Structure 1
Amino acid sequence: MNVLKVLLVQLLRLLVWLWCRKRTKQQSGTMNLIGVAHDAFNSRDYGLATELYKKCVSELDGVADAAATRLDLQFGYADSMANSGRLRDAVAVYARIYKRGCVPDRLRHLATALIGALHADGPPPAPFDPLACVACGSVPRQPVSWNCGHCVCLKCDQKHSRDAHCPRCGKSKGRSRREVNVLINTLVQKFWPKHLEAAALRDEGNSLFKGGCLKEALEKYNASDKLVKDYPLTLANRSHVLLSLNRAQVALADAETVIKIWPHWPKGYFRKSLALSSLGRHDDSLIALACCIALERNPHPLRHDMCLALHHVLLPTLRAKSANFWIKRRKRASSDCEDSGDEDLHQHQQRARARQITVQGLMDRMLKAAEQLQKNTKSDKRSIDFLSKETTSPAEVVDFECVLCSRTLWRPVTTHCGHTYCWTCLDRCIDYNHPCPLCMSPLTEGVAGSERSVLDFVEKALSLLLPEEHRQRQQQEQEQSAEPQRRIPVFVCTTGFPGTPCPLFIYEPRYRLMIRRAIQNESRQFGMAAYLETEGRYADFGTLLEIRDALSFNTGCSIVTCVGISRFKVLSRGEKDGYNLAQVELLKDEPIPDERLEVVTALHNEVRTRAHTWLSFLSEKCRSEIEQTFGCMPEIEDDWFALPDGPQWTWWLMAILPLGSKLKVGILGTTSLEKRLRAINKTLEHLTSRNII
C-alpha cells in the first residue's frame, strides 16, 4: 500500500513537471513572437504587426501573471490597426482597454492616424478676404508686400520671418528687409480707420491675456467688438478669455458666431471644441476638433489636443458625465410639465445610455462631418468681402493713380522702398537706370521681372471699390497693345538666318522694352535686320526670331537666346517708344521646276562637298567655337528641295562664312534656291583659292 502511494506521488510529480515544461516552452515561443511583432511595428509593416499582436494576445489570455504584458500587446494591436487605416476596429480595441480602467498615455498613434485620415487630401482652398492680411486675416496694419504680391501686417511679417513661403499661395516671400507699403498703408487708413482702432484694442487685449489679466483683456475685446461688430478675430480671442474665466457657455456662443461668419476658418472650430469639452460635451468636442483639423494647413501641432479629446471620449466615467449633461438639460427644458418630477434620474441615465452612440459610430460621425465640411469648402467659390463692404470713405480715382503715367494703376507692383507704380512704368525707370521717383532710392534691388508680382491688395481693391475705372483701364491697355499682326518690332543689329541660333545681349533701354513686350506676347517673336551704313537705315530683308530663353538682370539688361524662324521683306517702316516697327511680308523659296531639279540636286551635292572641304581646313579651336555657338552642321533633309527656306545646312554655313553685311542681306532675300547655292559655291571657291580660313 505504501509502495502504491509512493508511486502515485512520483507520477503526480512527473505530470506537474511535464506540464510546467510545456508551459515554459509555450511562453518562450510567445515571447519570441512578441519580439517579432515589435520589430514589424517598428519597421512600419503594420499589417503583419496587427496579425502577430492579435495572436500574442490570444495566447496570453487566461495567464494570471501576464496582465501587464497583455495590456501592452493590446495597445500594440490597436496601434497597428490604427496605423494601417483600420480606425473603426482600432477604436473598438481602445474602448475595451479603457473599460478595464487603464488610462495610460498611449493614444498618440490613434491621434496621428485620425489626423492623417482627416487630412489625407490636404486642406481645401478656402474663401478668404482679398483685402485682409494673408497671415492673420485682419485689416493689414503697417502693411508690407511680399514678392508673391500678397501683403501682411508688419508684425505678422516679423512673426513669420522664418517661413520662406507665403501661407496663401506657397510662393517665395523674397527678400528679408521690407519697408511699409506707402500706398496700401494710406488706403487702409482712409477706408478702415475703425478696423485699425479695433485691431489695436485687440492687440492690447492679447497682451493683457498673456500677462494673466483676464478681466481687463475681456474689457478690451468687448471694446473692440463695439467698434467693429462680430469681427471673427475678436470673437475668437474673446471666446478664449471667456473659457479661461470659466464662462464656457458664452465662449461657445462666440465660437459658433465665428463659424457662422467664417465657416472655413479652422480656429473657429478649435475654440468651439475647447468650449464643448469644458461643458462636458466630449463627443461634440471631438467632432469640432476634427473639423478644425480638416481645414488646418499644418494639423500636426494639434495631435496633443486630439489625444486629450480621444481620452475624454474613451474614458467611461467621462462619457457618463457627457451623457448627464444632456439629461440635466432635458430636465430643465421639461420642468414646466406636471409629471417631470416623477421620473427618476437613474431612468434618465439608462435612457441616455440607450440612445448614446457607440464609440465606433462617433468615429463615423466625425469623419463624415469633416468630409462634408471639406466638400462644402471646395464648392464654395465666394470670396469673403468683409472689408470692401465696410469702407468709411468713398474711393476716388486719385487714390489709385500712378505718379509716373498719371493714369489708374495697371498691374501695380511695389519697390523695395515701399512705393507703387504700374509694372510697365517701373520697367521704363529701370531701363534708364532712374532711381525711385518718390524717394530717389536705387531701383536695382529686388525689382527684376522674375522677382516681383502684381500687388494683390491694390488689384483687388481697384476691382471691388472702383470696378468701372478698372475696366476702362484694362480696355485702354488692350487697345494699346493690339498692333496689326504683320507689324513686328525690329531689332537693328546684324543678319540672322532661318533655323540658326542667335544669342543676343540686350542693354539699350528701348530694346529692353521691346524684348519684354515680345516675351509677354504669345508668339514671343520679333524681327532682326542689319544696319546698312551706306543707306543710313536697316536692311529691306531680315529674319523673324523666336525667343527660346531669356535671363534678366537687376540692371534691366538681359541675355536672350533666339532662333531664326523665317525670312521677311520690309514693306513699310514705323516707330514705337523708340524702337522700330515694320509691316513685313514673309518670304519663301520659289518651287523648283521639274526640269531643273536634277541640276539643282547636283549643285547642292557639290556645294555641300566643298563646304566640308573648307571646314576641314579650319583649326580645331575655330571648329570648336563654331559648334559651341551654332551647333554641328545639320544633316540633309529628305525633302530639302521642297522646304520654304531650302536645306537648313546652307543657312548654318551662311552664319559662319566671312561675308560682308550687304552680301549676306542679298543672299537672305533671294527666293531662288539655285541662285543661293551658286552664290555660296562661288564664295567657297573664292575662300579656298585664296586660302582664306
Structure 2
Amino acid sequence: MDSAIQNPTEHYVHDLSNPTAPGLCAEMLGVADEACRAGDFDLAAEIYSSQLAELEHTDRGLCLRKADALARGGRIADALDSYCIAANLQALRPNELQVLVEVIAHTIRTKEQCDSKTLSVGSNSENRCFESDELEEEQNLDLFSCRLCKCLLTEPTSLVCGHTFCKRCLEDDLTKECRSCCLKTNKTPRELNVDGLRVNVIVSGLIDKWFNSESKARRYWLEGEFLWKKQNLSNAIPKFNKAIEQEPSICWLLARRAELLLEMKNFSQAIKDADTMCQLRPLWPKAHYIKATAFRGASRIEEALQEYLFCVALKSDWIAVKLEAQKILSHMFSSVFVNEGLATFLQPLPAGPSPRIKPSSLLSSLHSSLHRDEAGCSKEQTLGSSNFKDGKSYILQRSENVSSVGLSSLFVPPVLKRKWTEDAKDFEPPSKQLKEDKVNSSKTLPTFSWERQVPSQLLDSADFECSLCMRLFYEPVTTPCGHTFCLKCLERCLDHNPNCPLCKENLSEYLATRADNITLLIEEVLQRYFCDELAERRKVHEEEMKELSNLNQEVPIFVCTMAFPTIPCPLHVFEPRYRLMIRRSMETGTKQFGMCIADELKGFADHGCMLEVRDVKFFPDGRSVVDTIGIARFKVLSHGQRDGYHTAKIEYLEDKKVEGEELTELLKLHDSVYDQAMAWFTSLKDDMKSQIISHFGQLPAKDSDPQGNPSGPAWCWWLLAVLPLENKAQLTILAMATLTDRLIAIRRVLIFVTRKHPRR
C-alpha cells in the first residue's frame, strides 16, 4: 500500500465530538493513534471499537477514525459500516472521505498492476501502467509531433535553434515555452521575428505526402478550434466530425470533441467519445476524466464515481479529481438517509453503536446501481473501457456474499456496450450534425501506437536533395524564409549575396546571427530512413575535408601581404573566395593557411609564411576580422586554384644548423646584431615607438639558443616586420636558408636606416 496511506503524517483528520466524554480513555486513544502511525490498523480499529462500545452515545469523530483505520487496513466493507454510522449522525463532508477515496484508488491500482503482469509478453503499452500521462506524452512524441501542442506538425516552422514547431503554436502564448526549453537565446519573440517566420517547405511537403489523412484531419481540427474559440459551437462540431472521419483513432482529437460536446450539454455523445478513447488508450487519465464528467452531466452519478476513482488510481496526485470523488461519495452517503429513491436498498440502521454491523445500505445501493446493466448480464463483468487491450478484457470476479465483498468487486465498471438509458437518449444529437464515427461502428479498435510509420513506398531520397549542390542534404539548415540547404552550400551562397538562393528574400539578419544550427527534424529523418545514403554522403564530405586539411599537397593561399613567423598578422576578410577559405580552414580543424605577396606572372610569390587563426569575428554583412599569427616559412613547389582561391603544393623551410667554430661565430654575430637593433629601436621617437609596440608588441628578448627554433630567433622576424623595407626585400630575407645570412642582411639594413635617420 502507498506510504501516504500506510504511514500518514497525521493518521486522522477527525476531531472527537466530545473528547472528555465519559468512557473515553485518552491513553487508549493515544495507543490507537500510535498503531495507525505504525501501520497496525487492525489494532487501532479494535481500540476504537472498544472505546465506542463503552460510550452511552456514539461519538461521530471516533466512528470516522475507526472507519479510516478499517479502510487503511483493507477492510472496506467494515469501513463502510462505520462511515454510515457517522453519516447517520451528521452528513459526511467531502474532506472526511479522503482516506476512503485514496484506499479505493490504491486498491484499483494494485489490482490492475497485478492483472497486467498476467498479460502476454509484448503488451508494452499496458506494462507502462499508471504513469503520469504528461510524462508519457513527452516521452513518446515521435519525430513529426510538435513539442508544444503534442500533435502532428501543422504549418511546420523551423527556428534558428534547429527545432521545428507548428506555426500557430509559435504565434500563440506557447512561444514562451519554446524560448525556455530550446532557444539558445534570451531574445523576445519580437526580437526573434516569430511573426515573420515562414513554413518549412521541405517538412510541410513531407508531412502532407506521408501523413495525408492525419494532416487533413489536423486542419479541420484547427478550424474547429478557431470556431470554438469564437463560441460558434454549432459550426465547430462539424469540423471536428470531419477531422475524426479522416482519423478516427487520434485520442487528443476525440478528447477535444468530447470536451466540446460537454460544453454543448451533449453528454451521451461525449460518453461515446470517452468510451472510444478508453479503448484506444486504457490507461490515459484524461479519457477517464472526460468520461466521468460526461456521466456526471448525464446524472449517472455512480458511473461518474467509478471513473473518478479510476482517474485517481491512474494519477494519484490529481487533487481536483480526488475531491470530485469525495463529493460524490459524500452525496451518496447522504442519499442513504435522505433519498427516498434508494429506500428499497436501505436496511434500518441502529441508533446506537453495534458490535457488528452488516454491510451497509450504502454498499447495497452501490451494488445495485453499479450493476444495473442489461438483463442476463454475466456475473463476470469486464473492467470497462479502462482495461481494453487488443479486443480482450480483464475479468474481475464478483463475490456473491456482500458481507465479504472487496474493492475490486465493489466498483465493477459496466460493460463496454452499455445499453443507453432513456435519460441519455434525450441528449442524442441531430443525425445531420453528428454522424456515427468509423471507429465506433467497427467491431475492433486499432491498438494505440505512439510512433507514426512512414509508408515505405513513399520514401524517396530525391525529396531530400539540396537545390544548390543537387546532393543529399548534409547538415541541413533552414532559413527564416522556410527553405532548406546544406550548411556549407548556403554559406557559400551568402558569401556572394545576402539573399536566399531560391526566393531572394534578404537574409542579412540571419547572416548576422551566424545561425548555423542544424534543422533537427530533417537530420533525424535522414538518419532514420536514409541511413545508407547519408553514410555515403558523409563519406564524400569527409574525403573532401581530408583533402582540404592536407597542408602539403593543397594549401590555401591568401594573396595579400608579407607575414613572418611568430609575428601577429590581423586580416580584414571581405572577398567571397577568402571567406570560404577561412571558413574551411576552421572546419577542417587545421586553422591554417599560407600568406604570400602577389606576383604579376605567377599570381603569388614562391615563398611565404603559414598563418594560424587565433580568433575570428564576423560582421552582419559577412565580413570578418581574423586574428592570425605566423608559424612557419614555406617554399611553393606548384601553383593551383580551388573554388576561386589560390592553392599551392609546398615544402616547409628550416634554417641549417651549424656547429663548432661556425656556431661560435654565429653567436657573436647574433649578439652584435641584437645590440645594434636595440640601439636603433631606442633611438626612435616616442610616438613611433608607441605605434610599433601597439601593433607588434615589445622587441622580443635575445635568445640564449638562436638555433632552437627552425625559423630562427623571434626578435629577427619582429625587426624585419618593423624595418622600413619593401616587400620584395623582406621576401628575399624570408627565403634565406641560414640564420647567418639573415643576420648579415638585417645588419646591413640597420646600418642603412641608422645612417639615413641618425640618432636624435
Which TM-score tier does this pair reach, normalised by the shorter chain? Answer: 0.5 to 0.7
1:442 positional shift: 3.2
* Structure number having the greater helix percentage: 1
Q: Is the 1:165–1:171 Cα contact (8 Å) retained in structure 2?
A: no
1:683 positional shift: 2.0
1:522 positional shift: 1.4
1:314 positional shift: 9.8
1:531 positional shift: 1.6
1:254 maps onto 2:277 in alignment: yes
TM-score scaled by length of structure 2: 0.59
What is residue 427 of structure 1 aligned with on the other side?
491
Q: Which amino acid aligns with 2:277?
A: D
Structure 1 residues 385-429: Cα deviation after superposition (integer angstroms, max 9, x where no partner): 8445258x7244443333333333333333333333333332233
Aligned-pair identity in percent equals 30
What is residue 494 of structure 1 aligned with on the other side?
561
CA distance in 1: counterparts of 2:313 and 2:703, whole angstroms: 69
Structure 1 residues 623-669: Cα deviation after superposition (integer angstroms, max 9, x where no partner): 33333333333345565532222322322222222222122222222
CA distance in 1: counterparts of 2:160 and 2:399, whole angstroms: 67
What is residue 152 of structure 1 aligned with on the other side?
165
CA distance in 1: counterparts of 2:667 and 2:364, whole angstroms: 99
What is residue 750 of structure 2 aligned with on the other side?
684
Structure 1 residues 52-105: Cα deviation after superposition (integer angstroms, max 9, x where no partner): xx9xxxxxxx999xxxxxxxxxxxxxxxxxxxxxxxxxxxxxx99x9998969x
CA distance in 1: counterparts of 2:287 and 2:408, whole angstroms: 31
Q: What does 1:463-482 align with in structure 2 at a 5 Å threshold?
A: 463-482=527-546
1:517 positional shift: 1.1
CA distance in 2: counterparts of 1:344 and 1:154, whole angstroms: 60
What is residue 598 of structure 2 aligned with on the other side?
531
Q: Which amino acid aligns with 2:143?
A: P
Q: Is the 2:637–2:648 Cα contact (8 Å) retained in structure 1?
A: yes
* Bigger shift: residues 608-617 or 309-318: 309-318
1:163 maps onto 2:230 in alignment: no
1:199 positional shift: 0.2
Distance 1:219 1:585, change over 3 A: same
Gaps of 5+ in 1: 1-53, 55-61, 65-94, 105-117, 261-267, 291-304, 354-383
Q: Secondary structure at the match of 1:494?
A: coil
Q: Secondary structure at the match of 1:474?
A: helix
CA distance in 2: counterparts of 1:417 and 1:544, whole angstroms: 40
CA distance in 2: counterparts of 1:188 and 1:339, whole angstroms: 49
1:493 positional shift: 0.9
TM-score scaled by length of structure 1: 0.64
CA distance in 2: counterparts of 1:326 and 1:390, whole angstroms: 53
What is residue 213 of structure 2 aligned with on the other side?
194
Gaps of 5+ in 2: 1-9, 11-17, 21-63, 69-91, 97-130, 294-303, 334-361, 372-376, 382-396, 412-448
CA distance in 2: counterparts of 1:608 and 1:128, whole angstroms: 71
What is residue 671 of structure 1 aligned with on the other side?
737
CA distance in 2: counterparts of 1:653 and 1:670, whole angstroms: 16
CA distance in 2: counterparts of 1:447 and 1:129, whole angstroms: 31
CA distance in 1: counterparts of 2:612 and 2:468, whole angstroms: 32
Distance 1:195 1:167, change over 3 A: farther
1:602 maps onto 2:668 in alignment: yes
CA distance in 2: counterparts of 1:283 and 1:622, whole angstroms: 88
What is residue 58 of structure 2 aligned with on the other side?
none
Q: Secondary structure at the match of 2:145?
A: coil
Distance 1:316 1:466, change over 3 A: closer
What is residue 446 of structure 1 aligned with on the other side?
510
Q: Is the 1:181–1:414 Cα contact (8 Å) retained in structure 2?
A: yes
1:437 positional shift: 4.0
Q: Is the 1:313–1:319 Cα contact (8 Å) retained in structure 2?
A: no
1:142 maps onto 2:165 in alignment: no
CA distance in 1: counterparts of 2:139 and 2:399, whole angstroms: 47
User: Which protein is bigger by CA-based radius of gyration?
Assistant: 2
1:344 maps onto 2:403 in alignment: yes
CA distance in 1: counterparts of 2:368 and 2:747, whole angstroms: 104
Structure 1 residues 610-631: Cα deviation after superposition (integer angstroms, max 9, x where no partner): 3332222333333333333333
Distance 1:351 1:386, change over 3 A: closer
Q: What does 1:125-524 align with in structure 2 at a 5 Å threshold?
A: 126=139, 128-160=141-173, 162-163=175-176, 165-166=178-179, 169-172=182-185, 174-176=192-194, 177-207=196-226, 210=229, 221=240, 223-238=242-257, 240=259, 245=267, 251=274, 254=277, 257=280, 279=305, 285=311, 288-289=314-315, 308=320, 335=379, 340-344=399-403, 348=406, 386-390=451-455, 394-433=458-497, 435-448=499-512, 450-483=514-547, 484-486=550-552, 487-524=554-591
1:541 positional shift: 1.8
Q: Which amino acid aligns with 2:543?
A: E
CA distance in 2: counterparts of 1:493 and 1:389, whole angstroms: 54
CA distance in 2: counterparts of 1:211 and 1:205, whole angstroms: 10
Q: Which amino acid aligns with 1:516?
A: R
Q: What does 1:102-113 align with in structure 2 at a 5 Å threshold?
A: none
Structure 1 residues 328-363: Cα deviation after superposition (integer angstroms, max 9, x where no partner): 599969946999444238x7589999xxxxxxxxxx
Q: Is the 1:572–1:583 Cα contact (8 Å) retained in structure 2?
A: yes
CA distance in 2: counterparts of 1:350 and 1:396, whole angstroms: 53
Structure 1 residues 147-171: Cα deviation after superposition (integer angstroms, max 9, x where no partner): 1222222211211475385566442
CA distance in 2: counterparts of 1:143 and 1:541, whole angstroms: 54
What is residue 681 of structure 2 aligned with on the other side?
615
Q: Is the 2:288–2:310 Cα contact (8 Å) retained in structure 1?
A: no
Q: Secondary structure at the match of 2:162?
A: coil
Distance 1:657 1:193, change over 3 A: same
Aligned mate of 1:593, from 659, 668, 686: 659
1:560 maps onto 2:626 in alignment: yes
Q: Which amino acid aligns with 2:247?
A: V
Distance 1:209 1:672, change over 3 A: same
1:577 positional shift: 0.9
1:446 positional shift: 1.4
Distance 1:442 1:335, change over 3 A: closer
Q: Is the 2:706–2:712 Cα contact (8 Å) retained in structure 1?
A: yes
CA distance in 2: counterparts of 1:593 and 1:209, whole angstroms: 94
What is residue 38 of structure 1 aligned with on the other side?
none
1:654 maps onto 2:720 in alignment: yes
What is residue 263 of structure 1 aligned with on the other side?
none
CA distance in 2: counterparts of 1:185 and 1:230, whole angstroms: 22
Distance 1:317 1:514, change over 3 A: same
Structure 1 residues 529-549: Cα deviation after superposition (integer angstroms, max 9, x where no partner): 11234x543122212112121
* Alignment RMSD (CA, Å): 4.7
CA distance in 1: counterparts of 2:644 and 2:138, whole angstroms: 45
Q: Which amino acid aligns with 1:497?
A: F
